[in-house]
């Protein structure tokens, strides 16, 4: 069945309600598009994709509990056919390069127009990629020069999916009790993860862990 003959199913993930609702309304006006879910954080988007198996996810980066980069990584693991398009206010090189490395199909800045979003979706469905014009040249230049990862990026790469979830929530200031309830883990398991995270990231205090997260722009406190 061709793209024109079927309904394209979409999930919108953004922690700002007005952005989610506005984008969903705009997408629903496009013939053949159907928004089947809205997520307010990265973990919710992963769980929604696992359950609904959409064609497209429109993903913000700066979201609570699980950021858009790690959510994209998880989505491509559990649903490789789902295309992820990033819609973010951030244009940091680290975000862009990492997201394309793990399988994102598009990267749009939030000053993009509605037609830009539609173009990005069609490009992704055709197996291509789409970038906001203002960042296209820089991404190409970065691939040519093969930028070296920072020390923080290399250490962060050693964390498991679960450790990344716990790491972000600790950096957001969430308590052990709150993290255990969100992830359905025992407090002792959360404490074990915290210890392992600090060892892998080579930090010896929570303030240093938070600073580490800020350097990676995972949190902005």
Residue-level pLDDT at 144:
45
Domain shared by 107 and 156, yes or no: no
Clarify whether residues 26 and 90 are in a common domain. yes
Do the domain assignments include residue 118?
A: yes
Do 86 and 108 contact (CB within 8 A), yes or no?
Answer: yes
Element (H, E) at 33: strand 33-39
> For every one of its 221 residues, what pLDDT tens digit does the chain have, with 9 covering 90 and above?
455 578 999 999 999 999 999 999 999 999 999 999 999 999 999 999 999 999 999 999 999 999 999 999 999 999 999 999 999 887 766 678 788 889 999 999 988 889 999 999 999 999 998 988 777 666 655 554 545 567 888 899 899 989 999 999 999 999 999 999 999 999 999 999 999 999 999 999 999 999 999 888 888 65
Number of domains the chain contains: 2
Question: Could you tell me if residue 221 is inside a domain?
Answer: no
How many angstroms separate the CA atoms of 111 and 4, rounded? 28
Q: How is residue 221 written in tokens?
A: 């406190």
Asked if residue 196 and residue 115 are part of one domain, the reply reads no
Q: Is residue 220 part of a domain?
A: no
Q: What is the CATH number of the domain that holds 180?
A: 1.10.10.10
Same domain, 197 and 112: no
Residue 218 has what pLDDT? 83
Last residue of one domain, picked from the residues 145, 170, 188: 145
Same domain, 160 and 133: no
**Do 103 and 198 lie in a common domain?**
no
How many CB atoms are located within 10 Å of the residue 148 CB?
Answer: 8
Is residue 52 within 8 A of residue 26, CB to CB? The reply is no
- Write phi, then psi, for 35 (nearest 5 degrees): -85, 115
**Residues 82 and 9 reside in one and the same domain:** yes
Query: Domain containing 197: what range?
Result: 151-215
Final residue of a structural domain among 97, 116, 145:
145
Q: Distance (Å, rounded) from C-alpha 139 to C-alpha 130?
A: 12
Residue 166 shares a structural domain with residue 194 = yes
Q: What's the pLDDT at 148?
A: 58
- Does residue 209 share a domain with residue 112? no
pLDDT in the model for residue 4? 59
CA-atom Rg of the chain in angstroms? 18
pTM score: 0.80
Q: What are phi and psi of 171, to 5 degrees?
A: -65, -25
């Amino acid at each position: 069945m061709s793209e024109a003959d079927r309904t394209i199913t979409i999930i919108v993930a953004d922690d700002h309600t007005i952005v989610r609702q506005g984008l969903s309304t705009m997408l629903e006006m496009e013939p053949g598009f159907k928004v089947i879910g809205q997520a307010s954080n990265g973990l919710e988007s992963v769980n929604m994709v696992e359950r609904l198996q959409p064609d497209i996810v429109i993903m913000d980066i700066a979201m609570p509990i699980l950021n858009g980069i790690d959510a994209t990584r998880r989505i491509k693991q559990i649903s490789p056919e789902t295309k992820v398009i990033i819609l973010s206010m951030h244009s940091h090189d680290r975000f862009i390069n990492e997201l394309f490395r793990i399988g994102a199909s598009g990267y749009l800045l939030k000053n993009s127009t509605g037609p830009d979003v539609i173009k990005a979706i069609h490009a992704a469905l055709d197996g291509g990629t789409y970038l906001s014009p203002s960042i296209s040249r820089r991404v190409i230049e970065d691939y040519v020069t093969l930028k070296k990862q920072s020390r923080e990026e290399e250490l962060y790469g050693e964390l498991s999916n679960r450790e990344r979830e716990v790491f972000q929530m600790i950096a957001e200031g969430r308590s052990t009790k709150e993290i255990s309830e969100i992830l359905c883990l025992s407090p002792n398991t959360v404490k074990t993860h915290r210890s392992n995270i600090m060892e892998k990231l080579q930090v010896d205090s929570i303030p240093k862990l938070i600073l580490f997260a800020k350097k990676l722009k995972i949190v902005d406190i």
